[in-house]
Amino acid sequence: MPHTVQHGQPSAEMQQCIDECLNCHSICTTTVSYCLQQGGKHADAEHVTLLLDCAQICGTSADYMLRGSHLHTQTCATCAEVCRACAESCERMGDDSVMRRCAETCRRCAESCGRMAHAGAHH
């Protein structure tokens, strides 16, 4: 298993995934406030729920990797799915630089988590 955490030395790929998850957690948490302040379609219940979902699973997934848990492949797989759904919801908001930045962050996190989930499935 190439991705088992040796203390203080996660693989470069896992460290990148941890960073993407923490970053996506932060952006989604901040974006909830932005959307509530914007109101209108930005404050749509389903959209805000997705942002909250994404922030939470990203934090959970990062913690599994930080703890060196063997089960991070499970949380990374779920995280990748939630990030993709959140990115799509942000992209549907149209031309808004905040939503675009959030969508891009979610896409990067989804790709990184997808690689971690896939790598784990082979070992």
Binding site for a copy of itself (CB under 8 A): 5, 7-8, 18, 22, 26, 29-30, 32-34, 36-37, 39, 43-46, 48-50, 52-53, 56-57, 59-60, 62-64, 66-71, 74-75, 77-78, 81-82, 85, 98
Q: Could you tell me if 105 and 27 are in contact, meaning their C-beta atoms sit under 8 angstroms apart?
A: yes
CB–CB of 103/45 below 8 Å? Answer: no
Is the Cβ of residue 63 or residue 104 nearer to a copy of itself in the bound state? 63
Closest separation in Å from C-beta 105 to a copy of itself: 13
Written as six digits, the tokens of 58 are: 């990203």
Which of 70/115 has CB closer to a copy of itself? 70
Measured from the CB atom, is 22 or 116 closer to a copy of itself? 22
DSSP annotation of 114 reads H
Distance CA 34, CA 107 (A): 19
Question: Diameter of the chain by CA atoms?
Answer: 47
